Chain A
Amino acid sequence: MAGPAPGPTATPPGIGARLGRLGIMLFPALLLFLVAFGPLVTPFSATAFDPAATLRPPGPTYLLGTDEFGRDLFSRIVAGAQPTLLPALASTFIGILFGTATGLAAGFLGGRRDEVIMRAMDVLLSFPALILAMLIIATLGANMVTLVFAIGFVFWPRSARLIRSAAMELARHEFVDAARARGEGTAYIMFREILPNMWGIIVVDFTLRFASAVLLVASLSYLGIGVSPPTPAWGLLVKEGQPLLQLAPWVVIFPCIVIAVVSVGSVMFGEVIRRRLTLPDRRILA
């Protein structure tokens, strides 16, 4: 009965905003390239010592300078994309996969099953993310597989909680009642009626959680948990460089900047996706 909803009054984005958005969309492509081909395109070896070129400041030969063993920092950062981003990507995928399955089941089935599942998730949520990951890695032993498992495990309840509330909200819609009254099976309703309406949420959750996975990997490797030298994981570069902060600040500053750019970029990418996806189905996603 209300009058026409006040339409959006925003002016069309200017050329600058459009370019910015294009940059953000190219961002994941760059990351994927680094993960896939990073170790192949480094100008120098990422791990070999060069006693003749220790602690060089950034310059034309060594773009970002060298560390105390003469290793080229630029090469180390490019090669470090793989050990930093690959576990982040894999663990996000695992966490979201299990989280979606659990959240969908709990949210749609409801009742006692939902309560039991969600209380178990509450227990997992009582650990701060980094600490739970540390605990798991410390017990299972530090390696790449453990790292991926630990972060995926940490994401599981967080993703499940989000998907559950989305599934509950969707399950209240009458199209779900209509399907039930028609005699559709549980699997059909979950996967054909509810899940297609959640892709937007899942994709956005993925991008934002990926950003947080990068942070977790970087923090864990900074703490020396999960990856060990000489792997040039970005967090490890910072940890190793910290004693040299006064002497050769670039050894710390550049890895920090890269971590910041990737993390901020992932968050912004998530935001762009979120805005784009919520437009047509605002009612469902809101």
Chain B
Amino acid sequence: MVNFVVRRLAFMVVILVGVSFLTFLIVNVLPGDVATTILGDFASPEQVEALRERLDLDRPVLQRYAEWAAGMVGGDFGVSLKSNQPIGPILWNRLANSLVLAAMGMAVAIPIGIALGVVTAVHRDSLLDRAITATVVVIFALPEYVTGLALIIVFSLEWNLLPASSLVLPGQSLWANPMTLILPVAVVALGMLAYLCQVTRASMIAALNSGYVRTAVLKGLTRRRIVVTHALRNAMIPTLAEIGLGFGYSLGGLVVIETVFSYPGIGQFLVQSIQNRDIPGLQAGVLVVAAAYGIGNLVADVGSLALNPRLRS
């Protein structure tokens, strides 16, 4: 078990090195000069040259990558081109905000999504199953901003119950107005829940059709024990691994959700970096998101492993 976690961790480090290299590469080696991209097509050659110098673009790529990566490991995320401020502190603050959103969304989505998946699998092909499954497919197929705007129209504009924006004023805490969190969390949760419901339903159906569930039925066990102890326990193994992927999915979705609600998270940070052509900020932000995704997957894999006796020993 410990052995597995250590290996899995080593594996993640290898992947992260690849990810950081790729992030660096995309920005620095792809056709099109970064300096021109940042400054736009109308910049004068002198401006471009000045920026090239500032970004050290004339030095070998590998050397620049090594320095950049070393800085990242040491917590130095570089300096924003826009504000000339160090990127690190802003990034951590934004990441923390996003994680709050993701964590709260998952806290809502995981129990409900799994419960719905179990219910639909147990009552497979019933009217209830069809209704829930159809709803879930539709929700999952909607872009986050459509869901978000629908919630805003209903809860903010029609009923005037909840604020439509999560804008946080400078110096204010995210928690100053907790009501503003409800709608964005709901959108994160809806997407996750739709995903988890489908995944759980599929793995529960596989489990319910298995030989060991047949044994349990023919053992005369109660329905509850068959579903919970025998089927769900096995169905959770693939489902847990999927939660890790769902986490990555919701991180991507955060970009849109945070824009809809003007929520000060890392997604909004990325969009702003793009709008401001702040390449160092974008690089650092993408890398942090990928790292968070990697850690999320790691946690899910270890959880899945803990449930799977075949891999545990």
Contacts and interface: CB of A to CB of B under 8 A. Distances in A.
**A–B in direct contact per CB < 8 Å:** yes
Interface string A245-285: 11001001100100110011011100000000000000000
A130 B256 contact: yes
A224 to B, nearest CB: 7
Contacts of A235: 143, 145
Given A122-B15, A126-B290, A224-B275, A238 B145 contact: yes
A36 interface: no
B141 A267 contact: yes
B259 A130 contact: no
B32 A139 contact: yes
B142 interface: yes
Interface stretch (A89-97, A98-106, A211-219): A211-219
How many interface residues does chain A have, given as a range? 35 or more
Contacts, number: 131
B155 interface: no
Given A126-B294, A127-B290, A238-B149, 5 more contacts: A126-B18, A128-B248, A128-B249, A131-B252, A134-B255
A249 B143 contact: no
Interface string B280-306: 001000100110011000000000000
A140 interface: yes
B153 A245 contact: yes
A249 B157 contact: yes
Interface string B23-52: 100110011101001000000000000000
B18 A242 contact: no
A178 interface: no
Contact of A256 (B141, B149, B282): B149
B286 A256 contact: no
B146 A259 contact: yes
B26 A223 contact: no
A141 B37 contact: yes
B242 to A, nearest CB: 14
A140 B22 contact: no
B240 interface: no
A249 B153 contact: yes
B90 interface: no
Interface of B: 14-16, 18-19, 22-23, 26-27, 30-32, 34, 37, 137-138, 140-146, 149-150, 152-153, 157, 164, 248-249, 251-253, 255-256, 259-260, 270-271, 273-275, 277, 279, 282, 286, 289-290, 293-294
30 contacts: A120-B18, A126-B15, A126-B293, A127-B19, A127-B293, A130-B253, A130-B255, A131-B251, A135-B26, A135-B27, A135-B286, A138-B277, A138-B279, A140-B31, A141-B37, A215-B141, A219-B143, A219-B144, A219-B145, A219-B256, A222-B143, A222-B259, A245-B153, A256-B149, A259-B143, A259-B146, A260-B142, A263-B142, A264-B138, A268-B137
Given A249-B157, A263-B142, A264-B141, A139 B26 contact: yes
A22 interface: no
Given A135-B23, A215-B143, A264-B141, A128 B153 contact: no
B261 to A, nearest CB: 11
Best-buried of A134, A138, A140, A268 by chain B (most CB within 10 Å): A138
Contacts of A218: 143
A225 interface: yes
A260 B26 CA distance: 32
Interface in A95-151: 119-120, 122-124, 126-132, 134-136, 138-141
